[in-house]
């Protein structure tokens, strides 16, 4: 199905009369890849025509004919780079916005390798705006419902993590692992570690399992200190944010201790570096009211 050409009569259409599809799910077009495609078209010609739909607009001089892309925007952009006047195209009678989007998603997912976030946004639009179920989306895309569901879950990640996935800085699998971390501070800490230390999927999974085991141990351990008051709790969260690590304050009367958790030598080194950098810049903290 992936390499099956779209059938229909082929016409030579003026490149400057074609406009992109506003429902196109792809937003990022790699310039280097477009240049390579343009070079291939220059040498071998366009092996597969683009697909467009005809648009008729009334003007002072009569009816003007224009075209809107349904599939093949990369080929159209490459033709523009080459300065081609005309491009082979198949004209489809596509009147419904829903069908245009479905065709654009199908074309791009199967042929142009949308990044996981672009795919997730396209699937979400099909579901939210056009009321398709995940099973219906899967049938149109040629993937399993589980793949569609897992990809769409990535949209639950913070924007900065989604952008990192789009840029290829972390993988879709690593993004899904971050989704299993409910604590936002821990999730942010792990994301920073991913970028800084280039953790593998296995290393990230082990780190997350260690965090969960640590939390479970803390939850079932008998209380050894008094309940932390609101002011101390706020300062604890401030420390966690500053250090990018889990911090616990234990109080016993007027004394107590501060516990900073780490899960690798690299993470410990990072905490020490943060403390060293902030030492001269931090304003004095208010005294703790024990």
Tell me the two tokens of residue 284.
């004095």
Tell me the two tokens of residue 117.
């976030």
**Nearest alpha-carbon partner for 22 in 145, 125, 109, 166:** 125
Confirm whether 73 is a catalytic residue: yes
DSSP E strands, 22-145: 50-59, 62-71, 86-91
**Nearest alpha-carbon partner for 1 in 139, 114, 119:** 139
Tell me the two tokens of residue 126.
């099909």
Instruction: Please tell me the distance from the alpha carbon of residue 174 to that of residue 156, in angstroms, as a whole number.
Output: 14
Tell me the two tokens of residue 205.
């999974």
Single out the catalytic residue among 73, 102, 107, 240. 73
Instruction: Please tell me the distance from the alpha carbon of residue 129 to that of residue 144, in angstroms, as a whole number.
Output: 21
Tell me the two tokens of residue 194.
């991913």
Tell me the two tokens of residue 17.
């009369």
Order of strands across the sheet that contains 10-14:
10-14, 86-91, 50-59, 62-71, 18-19
Q: Specify the DSSP class assigned to residue 16.
A: G
Q: Are 246 and 211 in contact (CB under 8 A)?
A: yes
Task: Tell me if residue 228 falls in helix, strand or coil.
Answer: coil
Q: Which active-site residues does the annotation give? A: 73
């Amino acid at each position: 199905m992936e390499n099956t050409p779209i059938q229909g009569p082929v016409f030579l259409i003026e490149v400057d009369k074609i406009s992109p599809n506003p429902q196109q799910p792809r937003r990022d077009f790699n310039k280097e890849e477009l240049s390579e495609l343009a070079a291939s078209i220059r040498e071998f010609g366009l092996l597969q025509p683009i697909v467009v739909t005809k648009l008729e607009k009334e003007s002072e001089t009569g009816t003007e004919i224009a075209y809107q892309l349904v599939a093949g925007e990369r080929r159209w952009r490459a033709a523009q780079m080459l300065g081609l006047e005309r491009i082979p195209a198949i004209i489809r009678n596509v009147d419904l916005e829903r069908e245009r989007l479905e065709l654009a998603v199908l074309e791009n997912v199967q042929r142009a390798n949308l990044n996981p976030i672009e795919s997730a946004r396209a699937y979400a639009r099909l579901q939210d705006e056009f009321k398709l179920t995940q099973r219906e989306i899967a049938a149109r895309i040629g993937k399993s419902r589980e793949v569609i569901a897992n990809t769409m879950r990535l949209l639950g990640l913070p924007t900065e993590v989604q952008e990192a996935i789009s840029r290829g800085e972390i993988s879709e699998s690593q993004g899904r692992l971050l989704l299993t971390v409910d604590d936002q501070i821990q999730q942010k800490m792990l994301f920073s570690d991913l970028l800084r230390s280039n953790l593998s999927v296995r290393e990230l999974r082990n780190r997350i399992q260690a965090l969960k085991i640590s939390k479970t141990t803390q939850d079932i351990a008998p209380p050894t200190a008094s309940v932390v008051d609101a002011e101390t709790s706020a300062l604890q969260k401030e420390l966690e944010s500053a250090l990018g690590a889990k911090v616990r304050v234990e109080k016993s009367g007027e004394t107590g201790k501060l516990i900073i958790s780490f899960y690798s030598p690299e993470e410990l080194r990072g905490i020490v570096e943060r403390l060293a950098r902030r030492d001269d810049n931090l304003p004095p903290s208010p005294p703790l009211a024990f």
